[in-house]
Structure 1
Amino acid sequence: MKKLLILACFLVSGMTYAQTNPYPLIPYPASLQPSTGFFEVNASTSLVVPADASLQSQVNQLKSLLGITRTTAGSGNRVILGYDASLGNEEAYTLEVNASKIKLLGKTNTGINRGIQSLRQLVMAGAAKKIPAVTIKDQPAYAWRGMHLDVSRHFFTLEYLKKYVDQLAFYKFNKFHLHLTDDQGWRIEIKKYPLLTQEGAWRTLNNQDSTCIARSKDNPDFAIDPRFLKMKDGKQVYGGFYTQEQIKELVAYAAERSVEIVPEIDMPGHMMAAIRQYPFLSCTSDAGWGKTFSTPICPCNEQTYQFAEDVFNEIFALFPSKYVHLGADEVEKTTWANSEACKALMQKEGIKNVEELQSYFVHRMQKFFASKGKQLIGWDEILEGGIDASAIVMYWRSWVKKAPYQAAQNGNAIVMTPVSTLYFDSPPGIQSVSNVYNLEVVPEGITPEQAKLFMGAQANLWTEFIPSENRAEYMYMPRMTALSEVVWTNKKDFASYEKCLLQHYPIMEKHNIHYRLPDLTGFTEENVFVDKATLSIKKPLESYTLRYTTDGSLPQKTSPELGKGLTITKPQTIKVAAFTSTGLRGDIYTLKYQQQAYAKPVSASGKKPGLTGSLYKKFFKMTTLMKQEKADSTFTVSNVVVPKTVTAPSFGIQFRGLINVPETGVYSFFYTCDDGGILRIADRMVVDNDGNHFPIEKSGQVALQKGAHPFEADFIEGGGGFTLTLKYSLNGSDPKEVPDSWFMR
């Protein structure tokens, strides 16, 4: 298989990638046999379909894709659709392309739909109407291949949801998790409770909106969509909702593309939009905030269950999926603990604590779901207090590492969606695509029998700071393509995938996707030069144009083109961005240059290999706060790594020693931290990556003479799992790991 991947995705020197890779498929098929020649669509090409088949949707897709008008076999080449009952998976298909025919067979209509998307990718990546010969046998590795969208924090049009479905189908996702309700807004019409949308779908602008508005000054993707603003009772409000007819339209649209919509009505927490309209739902008869989250609905009031069942009965009627998501995450239980009704219920039912009270609520809803033929899904908090094995657990809290093991031991099916990797609302960076690609769906230590419980994986897009369609697409694309390969192909070959991805960026432009352009590399954010330097950046795609400014303004389509290089002879700040041929601008890179003499080495006489580490078992917001504390312990390490003996959920480490560089030059260092870090070499600040944040790589340079120099690296971990890597390059070489042999103490 690997040989086929390399053959399909090999870059030959002197030729364009599109010429050498006729099969840039994402996700890559389970089996692909390359061939020679092409199938060329022409006026005599016919589309042949079994007379008894229900394939009208598929026929329409192929007619539109290939421009075929003939539906009766003639003397020309043919496109043949049909079924193959011998295929082992409901989504399996085979695709055979040669000069005389395209033959696409599926176990079911779903399999045929998956094959059509592979054919679509071949058409869009190559020459029009000229499809490369190939034999593909394909089926997915996992049954749950999901993407999520939160429409509660910020609202999106029905047309955009259809566009989202199109992208899911294109990359062979089969589950669309639609998060319809939350504190900020109720987005689906419930006829029995009309105030949920008449009032609960609208709100005044909040602090998250204010943050977006401030960011929109430099990036219009953060602007609040004026289509969802209106005046109500003399106030400007923001929101929107979907009617039940619109939901039916969306569900039917997705079903034609073999995408299953899984609705989420989040309760008992995150229900402020509902409680404000129906105060009887809370234990205190009002909506508000507790210590950490909003006031939940009351599990000790029978009216609550009547409301929930009424709502879900309407949800069940709209969504044919057997899966329905209850949420059940981030529940502020203070009002429960103080409620006399809850105390009485807990005593009656033998419930020991409020965690078990949440379990009581989930169990009741689970029984109700089952009575209607539905299966309950919840975030991994539903494990607290105990749950029935028939519930599906979505594992998201990366810092609760025992959760997937606990679910597996309990016999629950599991969908992996860890916040550390698959929360696509986290800022993307140079490593975000590879981090997704390297996700392990089945954690280490799971038994072969338990592995069968891991249904697959899903990425989530929470929209607190995603107010526009453009911003949403920037956040999920291209990370979504990496996940599609994880859950469909499940074969690790990142280099081949990455080359295939290059051909998908133009396809995204054809689909009008506001994607995040691939990262520009070959430079650092903080740069130094001794006498002069040359800024030279290799374009990820030849169709891109690099433009820059030196006056502090943001690069525009009219800014100077960077060209082959820019000579730097004085301290200055340069802003650079890539532009597509359609005018889409990539990330803006701010490059600061300062002149610096080579730092002179210090004596390394009597020093030992390694670095000294000082451990602080405490939560820090910034690395500088460690200076005020006394270390809990010290240790020796060979490099900038966290010892396995460090088990505290939050901590800080100071690494101290010398770094002995083998030659004189300008060294670039790339420091990736989750949460934060500071790197100083030769008493000079090299990288400032401080604070609490997701994994971010920041870079800087320092001019060093050959020999040993003082080395300081600080790192803090706030909880939830950490990332810490340090790489270097010399005079513009490719980044690599810093050798252990360079460090001494």
Structure 2
Amino acid sequence: MIFAKKYTFLILAAVLTGSGIMAQENPAKFPLIPYPSQLVVAKGSFIITSKTNIVTASEFSNEATQLNQLLKMGLGVSLPIGKANKINSIKLVYDAAINAPEAYKLNIGPNGVLITAKDAAGVFHAIETIRQLLPVSVETGVVHKQLVLPAVSIYDKPAYEWRGMHLDVSRHFFSISYLEKFIDRMALYKMNKLHLHLTDDQGWRIEIKKYPKLTEEGAWRTFNNQDSACIERSKDNPDFVIDKEHIIQRDGKTLYGGFYTQEQMKGVVAYAAARHIDIIPEIDMPGHMMAAINSYPFLTCNGENSWGESFTKPICPGIETTYEFAQNIFSEIMQIFPSKYIHIGGDEVDRTSWGKSDSCKALMQREGIKDLPGLQSYFINRMEKFFNSKGRKLIGWDEIIEGGISPTAIVMYWRTWVPDAPVKAVKNGNTVIMTPGEPLYFDAQPDEYSVSKVYHFNPIPKVLNAEEAKSIIGAQANIWTEMIPSEKRADYMYMPRMTALAENLWTNQPDKYESYLKRLEQHYHRMDAMKIHYRLPDLPGLLNNYIFTTEGKLSINPPLPGLTVRYTTDGTLPTVKSAALPSPLSIKKPGLIRVAAFTALGTRGDVYNLQYTQQQMLGTVKIGATNPGLACTYYKAYFKETALMSSAKVDSVFTTNEIAVPATVKAPSFGITYKGYIDVPADGSYTFYLTCDDGGVLKIGPSVTVDNDGNHSARERSGQIALKMGTHPFLLNFIEGGGGFTLKLKYSLNGSVPQDIPAVWFKN
């Protein structure tokens, strides 16, 4: 085949002449995400018209149809599909020599396009690459007389087998149409696993014909505390308005919810399969089952459905009706979802009711089970045997390893505060999928560092050797929807982070980050065309609190071309009608300035609240003899806010010369006070950046400098203070509510690059 040989020669010539892949990279001309394994630019282009035909092998008929649908969006007509070998064709060819799963070769030249692959998934990925090379307007159905593809030779394959996204449809529900949009976006970026969290305490979302009450009753609820919190936030942000299509009136009550019928979900599964995305269903048990237990109270050990010490009461592993119920559920699930993977959850199980149950005690004695984690493992192992008998594989959250687990179960790691969990699983022989909360919980509020953290995340724990690392088959991002009540809010939370994860798991070349950012700029236009309500890039270099002595100046450079920064000074939210921010804005009196970026289409980015305070330089204090470091007080307790530490019992005291939590701290919840003095070397405006998970408050002198209080995921807050050279009182209160902590404090002087505070500055 002359066409194929021609482009093989081009690739070989590039290698022999030392041109190298990096030298050929052109983010402007080839804005591909994820970036291909190898890309060599050729001369010319291929013109697609209504006279172009598609030539395909029978193995790739579905992919030829997908390609034709894509091109029809741009040409307005379908192209003929056949097996005849013609010029001016797009050829889909089987190639047994391409060994890597999902791999493909794509050669585009003036006389045609050649896609070669061994499997259909590879052909489909090549088509998605073509999609990204076509004009953005194809996404909106704008008809062209011709479409132009740049000449290029690509060889491409994924770094990881599992490239996943997770969507919780239980806490807040999402329509069939949105699931299909979600699948389309995953396909565009070569993601291949969609994990649907179908059941939880807040709602049961999949029809089970043997137990109709699961959806008749369990799919609906009156507004809960999460809904109320979203309603409150919607006053400032319309993304928090609950999607009205999921609200009904029944028996005089307002109910929220919804569910998928089995036929509807089979349609979604087929839609995903055509795009080579595997849907993995999760029916979470033995915990998180309140929506089911409300209708079927025989599932618990005592017939009660309530909160235990930490989480809701689970179903009872000591009675046979539990297993009959579970097996009946999963038998119907397996009829809907052909995936070889079934997720059983297994997380956050409050086992206290099991310890009081006579049936559980009898089972433990009969089976030689030593403790309650072992009892949970008995349940999981028994369900795994049932899954295996049906030709399926069990996946569970990493808690399933606590009481012992078979090496054939697949472990999904999420608890960042248990870093040895994936290592223990690998050494037990388990396959592991990495989904750590930091940085892969996409329900956590994104900030200016989020995309970089996702892009540079390494799925392989450092302590694993090369052979052990093979047990890590990939990663996925999880979207928990307690505070995601709308499709727009979901879009905002996962885009553009999903693009960073896609390139991480497919390309796996961290040194391409700067190139990725340039390519991402062009992808925002495609997202606009696809009506994705993505999060705009952060406005650079902004603080939460500013100070000035006589006059302050505010200048903001928009992070993308075409963005306009608008502002208000009366406390109202910026709108498209608010004044554009001048460069610079002169500030002569204290107050709140609210700024936000807007696209040409009127989409608003995050609103930034910039508090300006007028102050003179804070004078130093006179102190006697001091010792190096800060005096610290440790409280072994749970606190919702830092102020509550003042009346708590002291556990211990220590001294430190750095803002860090000592390695000796093992309590899941605690508080630490860092107290003393900070000795600054020069007069100036000091900015402090406090990153906390959970909360922290920094005071320098008599006033709060940075307020980052409360229980929340890792986030940075900042503040300024004008200091004279010398010693100033220093107080930092930090709390950790449980689930893993982060504590960092940096400073800058008169706008310098943020850096760690030198240890010699601290005294007590």
Return the letter of the residue paired with 2:704.
M
Distance 1:448 1:633 in 2: 43
Structure 1 residue 118 displacement after superposition: 1.9
Q: Does 1:570 find its partner at 2:589?
A: yes
Aligned match of 2:68? 60
Residues 70-85 of structure 1: pairs in structure 2 closer than 5 A: 70-71=79-80, 77-85=88-96
Where does 1:708-719 land on structure 2 (aligned, <5 Å)? Answer: 709-719=728-738
Aligned to 1:660: 680
- Match of 1:111? 122
Could you tell me how far apart the structure 2 residues matched to 1:671 and 1:480 are? 27
CA distance in structure 1 between the partners assigned to 2:735 and 2:43 by the alignment: 55
Contact 2:171/2:200, CA 8 A, preserved across alignment: yes
> Which segment drifts farther, 247-256 or 109-118?
109-118
Q: Deviations over 1:369-407 (max 9, x none)?
A: 000000011111111211111100111112222211221
Partner of 2:578 in structure 1?
Answer: 559
Paired position in structure 2 for 1:190: 208
Q: One-letter code of the match for 1:336?
A: W
The separation in 1 between residues aligned to 2:694 and 2:166, in whole angstroms, is: 25
CA contact (8 A) 1:615 1:634 kept: yes
Letter aligned with residue 31 of structure 2: P
1:457 alignment partner in structure 2: 475
Query: 1:714 and 1:103 mapped to 2: Cα distance?
Result: 63
Distance of 1:570 and 1:515 partners within structure 2: 35
Partner of 2:717: 698
**2:303 maps to which residue?**
285
Q: Which residue of 2 aligns with 1:92?
A: 103
Conserved? CA contact 2:595–2:608, under 8 Å: yes
Contact 1:679 1:714 in 2 (8 A): yes
Aligned partner of 1:685 in structure 2 is 704
Among 378, 381, 389, the residue aligned to 1:360: 378
Distance 1:437 1:644, change over 3 A: farther
CA shift digits 1:643-680 (9 cap, x unpaired):
55555544525164324345x44333322222222233
1:425 is aligned to 443
Aligned to 1:390: 408
Query: Which aligned pairs between 1:112-511 and structure 2 lie closer than 5 A?
Result: 112-124=123-135, 129-493=147-511, 494-511=513-530
Does the CA-based 8 Å contact 1:38-1:132 persist in structure 2? Answer: yes
Instruction: Decide whether the 8 Å contact of 1:152 with 1:182 is kept in 2.
Output: yes
Indicate conservation of the 8 Å contact 2:54/2:64, yes or no. Answer: no
Residues in 2 aligned to 1:659 and 1:437: alpha-carbon distance in whole angstroms: 38
SS of the residue 2:589 aligns to: coil
1:406, 1:667 → 2: CA distance? 45
* 1:485 shift after superposition: 1.9
Partner of 1:17: none
Task: Specify whether residues 214 and 532 from structure 1 end up closer, same or farther in structure 2 by C-alpha distance, changes over 3 A only.
Answer: same
Greater CA drift, 134-143 or 76-85: 76-85
Cα deviation for residue 409 of structure 1 reads: 1.5
One-letter amino acid of the structure 2 residue matched with residue 22 of structure 1: K
Q: Relative to structure 2, which stretch is displaced further, 159-168 or 597-606?
A: 597-606
Letter in 2 for 1:634: F
SS at match of 1:460: strand
Relative distance call for 1:705 and 1:341 in structure 2 (3 A) is closer
**DSSP-derived class of the 2:399 partner:** helix
Structure 1 residue 133 displacement after superposition: 3.0
**Displacement of 1:460:** 1.0
* Partner residue in 2 for 1:520: 539
SS in 2 for 1:516: coil
**Counterpart amino acid of 1:60?**
N
- Does residue 635 of the first structure (1) align with residue 655 of the second (2)? yes
Q: Does the aligned pair in 2 maintain the 1:46–1:74 contact within 8 Å?
A: no
1:519 and 1:226 mapped to 2: Cα distance? 30
Letter of the 1:222 partner, please give it: F
For 1:101, the equivalent position in structure 2 comes to 112
Structure 2 match to 1:546 = 565
Cα displacement (A) at 1:124: 4.4
After TM superposition, give the deviation of residue 101 of structure 1 in Å.
2.8
SS of the counterpart of 1:716? Answer: strand
The answer to whether the 8 A contact 2:74-2:137 is kept is no
- What amino acid maps onto 1:32 in structure 2? L
Find the aligned partners of 1:319 and 1:439 in 2 and give their Cα distance: 30
Measured in 1, the distance between the counterparts of 2:622 and 2:756 equals 20
Matching residue's letter, 1:511: M
For residue 40 of structure 2, the aligned residue among 28, 33, 45 is: 33
Aligned with 2:505: secondary structure?
helix
Matches of 2:264 and 2:655, distance apart in 1: 62
Please tell me whether the aligned partners of residues 93 and 111 of structure 1 are also in contact (alpha carbons under 8 angstroms).
Answer: yes
Deviates more, 1:701-710 or 1:532-541: 701-710
Report the AA paired with residue 302 of structure 2.
T
Distance 1:99 1:531, change over 3 A: farther
Residue identity matched to 2:429: G
Shift of the alpha carbon at 1:684? 4.4
Letter aligned with residue 441 of structure 1: P
Q: How far apart are the structure 2 equivalents of 1:146 and 1:407?
A: 20
Q: Secondary structure at the match of 1:724?
A: strand
Classify 1:226/1:667 alpha carbon distance in 2 versus 1 (closer, same or farther; 3 Å): same
> Aligned partners of 1:76 and 1:602: how far apart in 2?
84
CA positional deviation for 1:505: 1.8
Equivalents in 2 of 1:551, 1:308: separation in Å? 57
State the identity as a percent.
52
- Displacement of 1:232: 2.2
Letter in 2 for 1:114: H
Letter of the structure 1 residue corresponding to residue 92 of structure 2 = L
Which residue in 2 is equivalent to 1:13? none
Deviations 1:381-440 (A, max 9, x none): 111211111100111112222211221121111111112321111222222222222322
Identify unmatched segments of 5+ residues in structure 2.
Answer: 1-14, 139-143
Q: SS state of the match for residue 283, structure 2?
A: strand
Shift of 1:491: 1.7
Whether the 8 Å contact between 1:660 and 1:744 is mirrored in structure 2 is no
C-alpha distance in 2 between matches for 1:684 and 1:196: 54
The amino acid of 1:101's aligned partner reads: G
CA contact (8 A) 1:87 1:107 kept: yes
| Inter-CA distance 200–658: structure 2 relative to 1 (3 Å threshold) | closer
Deviation of the 1:350 alpha carbon: 1.6
Further displaced range: 221-230 or 236-245: 221-230
- 1:286/1:523 CA distance change after superposition, 3 Å: closer
Displacement after TM superposition at 1:334 (Å)? 2.7
Task: Give 1:214 deviation, angstroms.
Answer: 1.4
CA distance in 2, matches of 1:134, 1:580: 33
- Shift of the 632–445 alpha-carbon distance from structure 1 to 2, 3 Å rule, reads same
With normalisation by structure 2, the TM-score equals: 0.90
Give, in whole Å, the separation in 1 of the partners of 2:242 and 2:623. Answer: 58
The alpha-carbon distance between structure 1 residues 82 and 728, as it changes in their structure 2 partners (threshold 3 A), is: farther
Normalised by the size of structure 1, how large is the TM-score?
0.92
Deviation, 1:163, is: 0.5
Assess if the C-alpha contact under 8 Å between 1:523 and 1:732 holds in 2.
no
Q: Deviations over 1:548-569 (max 9, x none)?
A: 1111111111111114331111
Q: Deviations over 1:46-77 (max 9, x none)?
A: 43333664344333244235537443789974
Paired residues in the alignment total 731
1:449 shift after superposition: 2.1
Q: Cα RMSD over matched residues?
A: 2.7
Contact kept in structure 2, 1:522 and 1:732, CA below 8 Å: no
Secondary structure, aligned partner of 1:104? strand
2:635–2:650 contact (8 Å) kept in structure 1 = no
- Does the 8 A contact of 1:522 with 1:538 survive in 2? no
Contact 2:746 2:756 in 1 (8 A): yes
- 2:109 counterpart letter in structure 1: N
